[in-house]
């Protein structure tokens, strides 16, 4: 038999909230909160998630007994909060993987589920201080992997920086930019020097650095192939000069003869 919570998940399948990834709990938590805030009455739903549901008021009967109000007896504002409580529970349950859902589905309120999921995921994870130390170590040891493309290098670097940003680690922009540039292989040295001279590393970000370097990747690739072909430095320089001269000659040969002989006023 389908439970109420399971029915709500099926009914709202077309507009699912972010799905929990156990290794990225902090990121999921942030995205879930943003998802909730962007919905109608989002702040009330988020308040239910963090502080618990509405405490339903009671009524004293004529015989002196006390009972909880029925839904239809609630004030308009109370009905709205009760609806938001239900939505909060629904949203959190939709964002859980089946194995996690099976553990927490017996909880009735969003805050109970929210706190339980946090305990399940973070209870076996490293402390914040340990995570920071681990990421700083990864940042210090980050380097270019032989054979990877500039995009692959950029993508790995972006993933590392995103992990650091998720837990609000403090690292200066100039440090990030220098790390990104200084770990590129020697074939990139000319363009790394150019960008260091032309750009302010205190204000630019590594995405912009990548965009600039990407324009010159074909040239770097050609240089790397020639270095592999000509191991002797003198042979490399001689052949590289001939290569550039031949490239220039080919370019000039494509220019109309009349244009080359045209006098400049």
Dump pLDDT digits (tens) for 135-153. Answer: 999 999 999 998 899 999 9
pLDDT in tens, 26-50: 889 999 999 999 999 999 999 999 9
Say which residue, 110 or 188, is predicted with more confidence. 110
Task: Provide the percentage of residues in the chain whose pLDDT is more than 70.
Answer: 75
Last residue of a domain, one of 95, 122, 149: 122
**Which residues are bridge partners to 67 per DSSP?**
59
Q: How many CB atoms lie within 10 A of CB 136?
A: 13
**Are 182 and 202 in the same domain?**
yes
**Residue at 23 is within a domain:** yes
- Asked if 54 contacts 81 with a C-beta cutoff of 8 angstroms, the reply is yes
**Residue at 196 is within a domain:** yes
Mean pLDDT, all residues of the chain: 80
Does residue 178 register a pLDDT over 80?
yes
pLDDT in tens, 218-261: 777 666 555 555 555 554 444 545 555 454 443 434 434 443 34
Q: Phi/psi at 245 (nearest 5 deg)? A: -65, -45
**Are 89 and 136 in the same domain?**
no
Under the banding of pLDDT at 50, 70 and 90, the label for residue 11 is: very low
**Are 107 and 152 in the same domain?**
no
Q: What phi-psi label fits residue 41: left (phi over 0), alpha (psi between -120 and 50 degrees) or beta?
A: left
Q: Residue 17 has which token pair?
A: 């909230």
**Are 28 and 89 in the same domain?**
yes
SS3 67: strand
Under the banding of pLDDT at 50, 70 and 90, the label for residue 186 is: confident
CA dist 8 and 86 (Å) reads: 10
CA dist 110 and 180 (Å) reads: 42
**Are 28 and 135 in the same domain?**
no
**Residue at 239 is within a domain:** no
Which pTM value belongs to this model?
A: 0.47
**Residue at 208 is within a domain:** yes
**Residue at 225 is within a domain:** no
Q: Residue 136 has which token pair?
A: 């700083």
CA dist 65 and 58 (Å) reads: 10
- Asked if 97 contacts 114 with a C-beta cutoff of 8 angstroms, the reply is no
Q: To which H or E segment does residue 18 belong? A: none
Q: Number of structural domains, the chain? A: 2
Q: Return the pLDDT at 231.
A: 54
Domain residue limits at 215: 128-220
CA dist 228 and 186 (Å) reads: 13
CA dist 115 and 222 (Å) reads: 55
CA dist 165 and 173 (Å) reads: 12
């Amino acid at each position: 038999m389908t439970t109420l919570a399971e029915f709500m998940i099926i009914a709202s399948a077309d507009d699912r909230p972010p799905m929990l990834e156990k290794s990225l709990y902090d990121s999921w938590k942030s995205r879930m909160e943003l998802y909730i805030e962007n919905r109608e009455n989002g702040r009330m739903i988020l308040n239910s998630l963090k502080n618990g549901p509405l405490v339903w008021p009671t009524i004293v009967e004529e015989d002196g007994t006390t009972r909880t109000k029925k839904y239809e007896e609630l004030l308009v504002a109370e009905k709205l909060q009760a609806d938001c409580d239900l939505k909060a529970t629904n949203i959190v349950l939709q964002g859980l993987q089946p194995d996690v859902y099976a553990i927490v589905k017996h909880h009735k309120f969003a805050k109970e589920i929210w706190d339980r999921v946090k305990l399940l995921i973070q209870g076996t994870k490293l402390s914040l201080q340990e995570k920071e130390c681990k990421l700083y170590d990864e940042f210090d040891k980050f380097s270019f992997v032989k054979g990877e493309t500039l995009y692959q290098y950029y993508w790995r670097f972006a993933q590392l920086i995103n992990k650091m940003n998720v837990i609000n680690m403090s690292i200066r922009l100039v440090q990030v930019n220098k790390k990104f540039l200084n770990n590129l292989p020697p074939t990139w040295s000319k363009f790394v020097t150019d960008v260091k001279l032309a750009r302010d590393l205190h204000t630019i970000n590594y995405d912009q650095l990548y965009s600039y370097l990407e324009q010159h990747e074909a040239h770097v690739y050609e240089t790397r192939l020639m270095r592999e072909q000509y191991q002797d430095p003198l042979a490399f320089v001689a052949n590289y000069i001939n290569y550039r001269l031949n490239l220039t000659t080919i370019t000039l040969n494509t220019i109309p003869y009349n244009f080359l002989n045209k006098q400049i006023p």
